Chains A and B, each alone.
Chain A
Amino acid sequence: MAFSPEQAECLRRARGLAPDALGLGLRVPHYEYVLEHAPQVDYFEVISENFFGPAPTPRARLERVRARYPVVLHGVGLNLLGHAPLDNRYLDALARLADAVDAPFVSDHLCWTGAHGVSHHDLLPTPYVPELVELAAERAHEVQRRLGRPFAIENLSSYVEFRASTLSEWEFYAAVVRESGCWSLFDINNVYVSSQNHGFDADVYLAAIDYSRVLEVHLAGHTREQDGTLVDTHDHPVANSVWALYARAWRMGGPFPTMLEWDARIPPLPEVLAELEKAREARQ
């Protein structure tokens, strides 16, 4: 695929990370260990919104981490598919933070997070229809333009599908990435969770991805509820079936930077790093 000069510049900056870099989602219980022991990690990813607030301590910690490691930003509140226009104050705060840490790229989800003045603080699905491809693509393009750095869109894990959908999830996601001129943050655990919840073939999803636009792959653990629904809880090691899917994605489109998220019941950092190291085995 030929990129425009603007896209090529974005890619060059994002690829400031090694193409096979291994990164970790940095969470509060690990700051002390990271600052004291400087573990071998290629980069850290942080939740953008955790550093927008007034509390100075998180920002001070982040600056100390950034002095040693590249830091990429991952958002959960952009509200790309909300009915209301994007929040300019949010975008300004995001741009300031991205500039402050010189993030190789910034990412958020293909979802909505709030409506009618209420923020639901969750990553919520919509029907998958062409009308929303156009809406999300135009907004994502604008986000990337305002940030002045690569913006990657993450595929969602979901627990419900809607009758109104005329596109499959992977058709919807791939179209938004393609038409926005932005990039892909491809979450393989999310593919697995959604495939189990909705009964589709995860390999069909893998085959629909344009790997030349993947800036990062996410991995995480999930939980199976009593009724069989898989929930994207990020509170377990990565499931074997997800590692297998990762290995197939790597063969199809690797190398790509890979990042492990562990957000609840967080074990000590050496244990999380050991889980991340499994990615090397999966790539063989």
Chain B
Amino acid sequence: MSRSAPGWLADFQARFGNMLRTPLDRASGTLTAATAAYDPQLCAEALDRPLSCAAERLAVYNRQYWFRLFSVLHAGFPLTARLMGYWELNAVAANYLLAHPPGGWDIEQIADGFRPFFQGALDESAPDWRLALLESVRIDAAYREVFRAECLPPFRPLASDAADLLSGQLVPLPALRIVEEHRALLALRTALLADPSIATAELPPLLVRPQAWAIVRRESGTVRIPIEAREAELLTLLGRHSVGDALGRLESSCTAEERADLPDQVRAWLARSIELGFWCSLRRDG
């Protein structure tokens, strides 16, 4: 491909791109195009029509740009969007997209950095509400990451692996995430996905005790599996340390009373995690 685009095209597309990314105005209570902020040169380049001026024609593209990207974030973070409300989420999303405009052909990628941005953008004046939204965005992100994760077969240990088990490190399946909820947010998320007509959701009450879950993708779809708190801790430690080291760390974090049953429980949890296909390999390089 030898031909280069004419220089004026780059300038034209820079002006048009700036117009597309002009933030929508929220002052009226609905999202409207701020046409007065458009580059006058671009408006002069476009033709007026009897029913709408050039800026109003350009505004169609401006609105489409924002609503398309908002809809990707709404789809990627459905629980957070319904708890927070689309209007409030869009305000955070607009700031995020201004700071991180889409750069690749995969539109889904725009959501990749949303969770850390969202965490930094939350109002700290209402701690309970903030904690609930932080948990919500973690859960949404976990489901999203599991859906997009590489597909690898689960690790099925052989007898010959036994000698290396304590010194080796179990590598978590890419399509596995461990999350904890203090309110019944996973069930709420499932209910919301089943009924897209629900635009807003009430925050569920606090659970008597937090519940941990493994979210894992199967051939038949993504499932959530309830796990005990210490089991979740073990799975998380196993993903970061050698098996022997993880077991030591778990033991040291337990109470004396818990330690009595720990060996039997650890064996059962380890066996279950392998049976459920939570690992993809045993790393032996230390």
Contact = CB atoms under 8 A, between A and B. Distances in A.
A229 B60 contact: yes
A269 to B, nearest CB: 17
Contact of B103 (A118, A198, A229): A118
Contacts of B4: 85
A259 to B, nearest CB: 22
Interface stretch (B45-53, B202-210, B244-252, B271-279): B45-53
Contacts, number: 129
Given A83-B5, A161-B47, A55 B105 contact: no
Given A83-B10, A115-B13, A160 B61 contact: yes
Contacts of A205: none
B87 interface: no
Nearest to A112: B13
A234 to B, nearest CB: 12
Contact of B47 (A55, A118, A163): A163
B49 A199 contact: yes
A77 interface: yes
Interface of A: 49, 52-57, 60, 77, 81-87, 90, 112, 114-122, 124, 126-127, 131-132, 134-135, 138-139, 142, 159-164, 197-199, 225, 227-229, 231
A121 to B, nearest CB: 5
Given A83-B13, A87-B105, A229-B52, A159 B5 contact: no
B65 interface: yes
Contacts of B1: 85-86, 138-139, 142
A144 to B, nearest CB: 12
B184 interface: no
A119 B49 contact: no
Contacts of B104: 119
B54 A160 contact: yes
B6 interface: yes
A60 B47 CA distance: 46
Contact of B3 (A53, A112, A134): A134
